Amino acid sequence: MKRIAILGSTGSVGRSVIEVIKRLGSDYRAVAVSANSQWKMLADQARELGVDRVAIANQEHLPKLREALSDMDIDVGGGAEALCEIASGEEVDLIVASVVGAAGLAPVLAGIEHGKTIAIANKEPLVMAGELIMAKAKENNVSLLPVDSEHSAVFQAMQSGRRSEVSEVVITASGGPFYALPLSELKDVTAERALDHPTWNMGEKVTVDSACLVNKALEVVEARWLFDLDPAQIRVLIHPQSIVHSLVKFCDGSVLAQMALPDMKLPIQYALTYPERRNGLTPDLDLSAIGQLTFAEPDTGRFPALRLGYRAAEVGGSMGAVLSAADEVAVEAFLQGRLKFLQMVELIEDVMNAHSVVHSPSLDQILAADGEAREEARRWVSRAH
């Protein structure tokens, strides 16, 4: 039996993980769940799944969570360190990292240090600290299984050749809701419109990131570290139907694509059952009903974010942490109405320009770069507002 800890179980990915585990049956058991503030949903999940441990990052909600589960024999913890305790727990075989943002870094590292397999949806830790995470995973002989649909697609396609035979990876992007919008209209895009994604139903941060293509920038960095690629080997294509989730080109010219209807339950399930496949929850793909699959080069004039991803992937070191931290501040400010849509990427670029890169950074240096970038980004927001 695989015993699974779901970090971020109340989120969009986390809730899908629970659906998948229920469907997989008795070979898979959720032993721990965690959230930040949605204590009621977390308590319901813990009760329904019969987990051994629960953690809530925001301590303010700990008493309510404890009270809600007081009739059950469940270990209830609070604070960021409670997530790390779950990730290190003896009862856990596999961690699904589905926290949003930098808050997921410490539990991912704790899980790796304790030899747990990590199914990773939470892309920000890989963007911030990909070099360190991959080195620690190697040192501890830990597998990192991608859950992000594009990276799962790359991972699946890579199974049909040797790693040394891969010449290029093509990451697809839906383009988000505004891909056809002229620059003159992009500047007035509201948070409400940005949260309405055409093909994927996701948490707020990743939806806004997708609308301005910062998500794809983060995914370029994520792919660079997960698959040890030279950034020049990573290409992005706009594919509005979100059916081809990514492609891998091999040295003989063969290109392998992974296709499915856009539904996170499939990459989640693949990460949980890997190296096996099981019957899934995702409806069958009927290509004749889809009719057309289209691909286009991204327009980096209207969507300059992508360049920032390549820059962070090429420069490496602490630059990924700066990209990720500045983005978190920018998205939050946009959702609060304190930044305009196009200002998010302007802010990120300015914060990256102001950063002096530290190469092969330690965890402390990564956290310092993250903290400084957040301060710089907040000053930017104050000046702009």
Ligand X SMILES: NC(=O)c1ccc[n+]([C@@H]2O[C@H](COP(=O)([O-])OP(=O)(O)OC[C@H]3O[C@@H](n4cnc5c(N)ncnc54)[C@H](OP(=O)(O)O)[C@@H]3O)[C@@H](O)[C@H]2O)c1
Query: Does 37 help bind ligand X (rule: CB under 6 A)?
Result: yes
Kindly identify the residues of this chain, within the stretch 291-350, that bind ligand X according to CB under 6 A. none
9 or 241: whose CB is closer to ligand X? 9
Q: Which residues contact 256 (CB under 8 A, 6 or more apart)?
A: 157, 160, 161, 247, 248, 250
38 or 269: whose CB is closer to ligand X? 38
Query: Does 263 help bind ligand X (rule: CB under 6 A)?
Result: no
Residue from 17, 18, 99, 373 binding ligand X (CB under 6 A): 99
57 or 223: whose CB is closer to ligand X? 57
161 or 203: whose CB is closer to ligand X? 203
Stretch that binds ligand X, among 43-51, 197-205, 226-234, 284-292 (CB under 6 A): 197-205
Among 40, 36, 66, CA closest to 53: 66
124 or 354: whose CB is closer to ligand X? 124
- The 158-177 site mask, x for binding ligand X (CB under 6 A), equals --------------------
Residue from 3, 4, 5, 10 binding ligand X (CB under 6 A): 10
Tokens for 247? 């492609």
Residue from 45, 62, 98, 142 binding ligand X (CB under 6 A): 98
Shortest reach from residue 183's CB to ligand X, in Å:
26
User: Counting every residue, how long is the chain?
Assistant: 385
Query: Does 3 help bind ligand X (rule: CB under 6 A)?
Result: no
Residue number, nearest CB to ligand X: 11
Shortest reach from residue 165's CB to ligand X, in Å:
27
Q: How many CB atoms lie within 10 A of CB 301?
A: 7
Kindly identify the residues of this chain, within the stretch 115-134, that bind ligand X according to CB under 6 A. 121-124
Query: Does 94 help bind ligand X (rule: CB under 6 A)?
Result: no
Residue from 3, 12, 62, 142 binding ligand X (CB under 6 A): 12
Measure the CA angle with vertex 367, ends 365 and 368; round to 5°: 60
Residue from 3, 4, 5, 13 binding ligand X (CB under 6 A): 13
81 or 165: whose CB is closer to ligand X? 81
Shortest reach from residue 8's CB to ligand X, in Å:
3
121 or 266: whose CB is closer to ligand X? 121
Tell me how far CA of residue 191 lies from CA of 16, 174, 209, 210, 334, in angstroms: 24, 18, 11, 12, 7
Residue from 4, 14, 172, 380 binding ligand X (CB under 6 A): 14
In DSSP terms, which residues pair with 170 in a beta bridge? 235, 247
Stretch that binds ligand X, among 6-14, 173-181, 235-243, 303-311 (CB under 6 A): 6-14
In DSSP terms, which residues pair with 56 in a beta bridge? 35, 78
57 or 171: whose CB is closer to ligand X? 57
Binding residues for ligand X (CB under 6 A): 8-14, 35-38, 57, 83, 98-100, 103, 121-124, 148, 200, 202-206, 264
